[in-house]
Every structure is written in structure tokens, then in C-alpha cells.
Structure 1
């Protein structure tokens, strides 16, 4: 495509979810993408899906994107810097300080390296799970350091923009502290809470609604990969979990005092903890926090094929932009619940028009 920003060929090392998704997105924009992987079968599969082509002896990539597990990121980046002395090299590992320190210790040419991290992913991995639109609208951190300027790394930003992501500039230390808060600690909390479900009987689990599914969604992620991530960002993650443990101790103590009929101040402690959660979620930007720019409408849909697609199509036909949505369906129930978020000025007319078209609105 002629409107792309990125020039020259791009070499992707590692053809898992992120690598193959980058390849699919860039290939769709007409970029010459080279796919390489320590696993030949993974590389062939990614190529079969359209993520790029196999390497050739005369390749001279302008940009190299390393998409390998965190514990080998620095080693692979160093090898790519040495093998391609004219190329700019980046990586997409979810930790940035540890690889940078390892590369510094190895004497790598950091004037051609800038680490990045796309805040996008799925609970499943591998090239078969890749999507060309994985990064659309998602933040993508450029983790700056003193050995390279952002102008020198312009091709990396061009790639990010071509993939539809939003570049965010941070230092490596800011990045690691930030992802500890919004990604790494939540992963541990989700996994620990999901582990409690193993103690539940089938009757209890049958009651699970969207709330517990939302909280435990990322608990299905790969433990081996997360061990690497948490090990590389251990100190900031531990600090957040320690503070969370203190908060839990306050709530546990309050609940025990209520149970022992010693409730003085206990109810207030619980309400204060829940209210602090309200304040925290209100700070989430955009559509997924409690953003007052959007209003919600709950639509009941029959549990049969095509209903959800028909609802979305009719909302589009009515000229309303769907800002966000939440789906909920209990096993065995004949209906599903779709909570759609739209601009406040559109919600009244949308409700009226959907009712006229036969849709049932909750409440």
C-alpha cells in the first residue's frame, strides 16, 4: 500500500503470536517481511498464514524486530546487531531494563537498538493465533535510553503507526514500573484468584457469571512465559503485591471482626476499600474505565446463531457508533446479555429504535 510509512524490508525473529501478527499487519501494507525462527516449523506455519517470506542470503533488512521469550531477548538482539551492522533492531519483550543491562554488559552497539513493547496480546499463543489487527488502537511503548535518539529510531515508530498502534515514549525504568502495575501484578492476582476455583464444586462453578470471568480471563496464560516476565521485573511487581497484601489484610481483619460480632469500624474499612476500587477504575482512560462520555444500554438476545451479528448490523444501520460492549451468558440460559456503550446523546434514540425493531431492552 502506498500510504505506508515504513521503507525497506523488515526481518522478524520469532514467529509466535506477536511476531506473526506484526508480519501479517506489515505484509498487508505491502512491506517485504522476512520471517525467521529457531523453530523451522513455527516459521513455516507463520509464512503459510501470510506473515512474510523465508530468509534469503541477500537479505538486507532495514529494521529487525526480535519477538522471542524475555530470557533470551538480549542474546538474540545482540546476535542480530552483530549479523546486520546496518540495521536498526528492536524487540517486543514485556520487560525492558533487564535486556538493556545485559546488552550493555555485552558491549552491544546500542546506538542501533531501541526496545519496545506493544500492549496487546491474547491468552493463546503461536502463529495460528496471530491477527493483523492485533495492535489497532493499542499503546506501544518506545523505551528510550541515552545511546539512541528517537530520530535515529524513526523507522520503529513508522512500523508502530503502520500497524495502527499508538506510540508512547517512556524510559526503560518507567516502562517496567508501569507494566508491573497494569499488567504483571494483575496477572498474578488473576491467577491466584482462578486457583481458588479449583476448590469449588460443580454447583458453585455453574453460578459463575461475567464478573469472575473478567477477573480471571488472563489466568489462562502460559506459566512458563510468565515466570520469565515476573523474574525479569521482580522488584516492582513484588512492591505492588506487598501493598495489595496489606490492603487484603485490612479487609480480612474487618470481615473477621464482623463475624466475631466485634464490628466497630469494620464496615467502614470494607466500604473504604471498595470505594478506593471505584476511584482506581475511574482513572482508567478511554472506553474501559468508568468514562462519563459513554452511556450503556443492556439488550437481551436469544441464544441462537446470528443474533449478535444482527444486533451489531442494526446498530450500524441506525448510524450509531458502538463505543464498547460487554457480553454475558450463563450456561443453559436461553438468552444472552449484551451491554453496549454509546455516546450519551445517542442512547435514548437507540433504545427506541431497537425496541421498534423487536429487540428487548433490560430494565
Structure 2
């Protein structure tokens, strides 16, 4: 049971953890070398600036990877907490450094919540940031059961799903799904630097989506990528091979005609398969997804209106699938007695987001329910459903 906690580092993740724990009744204390950041987090409701008078149950070290060992040793020396965890996005190097530089390894559990935002600092924090998201834990043979149980309790209070991983396996995985994507987004964003105004005026959702995460703090990301350099390099090396193949095919097509585009189509096919691995409704996920079932009237503009309603929750067209109403869904008759064509939109979201979205949609007059887990959403084929109501993404 967690009754008291200290957040050391009140950036995006630390402040979000403070907000999440505070909403569940935990007394949270906030520490930061930047007093202004700590005051901002406290003003948001993430905790108190008062110094704890006794060891707290858990200290969450929300500091960059390079600082984890130093801060852990300092806080253990002062007896800040019974148990310590971190949120650094690189675990192998951190685990080895703790083993070499920290006397008390029994009270430490490595951690990494797989949640974030392109925004940094306390003003980007949200109490629901971790809802339904995986939170990786990397206990070692030195970790005590009490320490692990305290961290598991905190993860549950934050609404996240604990995932036990070997530190090296974790680093290899996040190189693929987090670190390399950030580099790719930054590379594309760098191509836009100094672009002519007439080009930038044409930038739509496609350019914004691809470059969104490039807005993160460059110094923090330099530390993260550098701490996981070998695995990131492996991932980017495979990407470089694909890019070289693609460039060669495009140059051949420019001189030999579209018959040279077979390699391009093969890459795009593989890309769509990979897209389904992440966005598909039946993808494997350590966090249980909830599927909402929303009946959409056949009137023009209704599907666009639904997407407008879900946008503030970060739910867009890529989280939505369309299907026909089931036999039990009797459509409402129109004024002239006819029944309009209806669709059912299946929306996949984390449990916390799904519940907030369900309440909003129900309050707005939508017919919405939670789809049975066994039913789920219809699996899409190679082509995605498009209607006149879908929003333009800026790509063609």
C-alpha cells in the first residue's frame, strides 16, 4: 500500500505521476533543483512542496538517465524513502550503473512508463497520462519483494499496466518503437527548416503527424538516444537500407518510367502491414484496450462530427473502424417513416480514455456502448474505409 511518495524531478513524467498518485489519495511531496518547476507542479495539484518529515513509502526519480545513479545514491543517503524507482527510458546501462555505484540495490526497482507527449515540463502533465499504458519494470535478483510490491502498487494507482522485462530486451524494444521514431521525426522536421513559405503553407496533417514528436527537448533526447546508442543504431541501420533501396527505385523510375516502382510498392505494402501491427484493433497490447461501439446516423457530416468529438481525447481516424449495425441495432425512423442508413463506428482506446469518451458521447446524444471483448471491431482489409465524411489528412 502506498500512502506517501516523493517525486524527484517535476517535468512532464514526474508531474503526471504526482497528479495520478494525488488523485488516488497518496500524499505526494515534490522535489526539483528548479524551484520554479516544482512550484508549477504544486500549483497544478501534483503534490506539496513541504519536505517529508519521515521516510516516504516510495520515491520516484523522474530525472534524465545520466542522473539516475547519482540522485538515487544521494536520496538513499538521506533516507528519503523505503523504496526507489526511476522512469528513465534506458534500462540496461542504468541497471549496470546502479549495480556498480549504489550500495543499497535491494530497495531499487528500475522502471519506465511508456507514455509521454511532445510537450515537456509540468505544464504538459496530465493525471491520466498513464491510463492503460504499459509501465516496464526491471527488478534484479537484489530487489526485495517489498520494494517490488510498493512499485507495483504505485503503477496500479497511476492506472498503468506493469510489464516485467529484462533491461536489455527493454532497450532493444524501445529503440524500435520510441527512440528511432523520434530520430526519424527529427530528420524529417530538419528537412523543413528553412523551407520556402509557399511549401510550408501547404503543410497539412500528414506533415504535422510525422514531425509531431520532434518538438521534444533536444538535450533530453540526446541523452536518451546516446544512452541506447547501439540498439538505436541497429534499428536505423535497417531503415537506412530500406531508404537506399527506395531512393534507387525512385531514381530508376524517373529515367525508366513507372515500371521501376515495384520496390516502392513492396515497401509501402510492408509499411501498411507494420501500421496494422500498431494501429490494428486486434493488435497484441500489454494494456487492455476498450472498444466503444457508436451508432452513426447516415446523415451527411455525421462521421466528421464524431471525429471532431473524439479529437480532444487524442482519438482520430486511425483509431476508428466502420461496420454495419447488428441485428439488434434497430435504426430510428425519420420523420417520414423511413429508416436512415446507419454505420457503427468502433473506437479503440485505453480504459481511462474510453470511459471519459463514453461519457462525453452519451451526454451528447450519441448511442454508445462498450463492445464485448469477444466481438471487438471488424478487422480491416488492405483498403481502409473512406467516406465523404472522413477528415483530410494532408496526404494523397
TM-score, normalisation: structure 1: 0.80
Q: Distance in 1 between matches of 2:95 and 2:65?
A: 11
1:181-202 residue CA offsets vs partner (Å, 9 max, x unmatched): 0000000001101111225322
Task: Identify the match of residue 282 of structure 1 among 269, 276, 284.
Answer: 276
Equivalence for 2:27: 32
1:9 alignment counterpart: 4
1:140 partner SS: strand
For structure 2, the residue ranges without an aligned partner over 5 or more in a row are 286-290, 333-339, 344-364, 366-386, 391-396
Q: Take 2:293 and 2:167, find their aligned partners in 1: how far apart are those partners?
A: 37
C-alpha change, 1:274 and 1:118, in structure 2 (3 Å) is same
Give the corresponding residue for 1:139: 134
Written as runs of structure 1 = structure 2, the 5 A alignment for 1:249-328 is 249-261=244-256, 266-284=260-278, 287=281, 300=301, 311=309, 325-326=315-316
Deviations 1:52-111 (A, max 9, x none): 112436232011100012221221112222222761100001111122222222143111
Give the C-alpha shift of residue 119 in structure 1. Answer: 1.0
Instruction: Indicate how the Cα distance of structure 1 residues 362 and 57 shifts in structure 2: closer, same or farther if over 3 A, else same.
Output: closer
Q: 1:278 to 1:163 in 2, by over 3 A?
A: same
What is the alpha-carbon distance in structure 2 between the residues aligned to residue 268 and residue 18 of structure 1?
A: 44
What SS class does the counterpart of residue 36 from structure 2 fall into? helix
Q: Determine helix, strand or coil for the equivalent of 1:116.
A: strand
Distance 1:59 1:151 in 2: 18
The answer for the alignment partner of 1:56 in structure 2 is: 51
For structure 1, the 5+ residue unaligned runs are: 1-5, 314-321, 327-337
Q: Structure 1 residues 149, 257: closer, same or farther in 2, change over 3 A?
A: farther
Taking a change above 3 Å as real, the CA distance of residues 92 and 130 of structure 1, as seen in their structure-2 partners, is: same
SS in 2 for 1:284: helix
Matches within 5 A, 1:1-363: 6-56=1-51, 58-84=53-79, 87-148=82-143, 152-261=147-256, 266-284=260-278, 287=281, 300=301, 311=309, 325-326=315-316, 341=320, 344-346=323-325, 352=341, 362=389
Q: Distance in 2 between matches of 1:57 and 1:311?
A: 43
CA RMSD of superposed structures (Å): 3.5
Distance in 2 between residues matched to 1:190 and 1:345, nearest whole Å: 37
Deviation at 1:229, TM superposition (A): 0.3
Q: In the superposition, relative to structure 1, how do residues 31 and 184 fare at CA in structure 2: closer, same or farther (>3 Å)?
A: same
- In 1, the alpha carbon distance for the partners of 2:36 and 2:309 equals 41
- Number of corresponding residues: 330
Judged with a 3 Å threshold, the aligned counterparts in structure 2 of structure 1 residues 49 and 174 are, in CA distance, closer, same or farther, namely same
**Pair 269,207 (structure 1): closer, same or farther in 2 beyond 3 Å:** same
- Tell me the CA shift for residue 166 of structure 1: 1.2
For residues 290 and 263 of structure 1, the distance between their equivalents in structure 2, rounded to whole angstroms, comes to 37
For the 8 Å contact 1:14–1:68, the answer to whether it is kept is: yes
SS of the residue 2:106 aligns to? helix
Q: Please report how far the alpha carbon of residue 275 of structure 1 lies from its aligned counterpart in structure 2 after TM superposition.
A: 1.0
Answer whether contact 2:2 2:58 (CA < 8 A) is retained. no
* Aligned counterparts of 1:339 and 1:283: Cα–Cα separation in 2: 12
1:342 and 1:259 mapped to 2: Cα distance? 37
Higher RCO structure, 1 or 2 (CA under 8 Å, sep 6+): 2
**Cα distance change on mapping 1:281 and 1:259 into 2, 3 Å:** same
How many Å separate the matches in 1 of 2:322 and 2:139?
Answer: 37
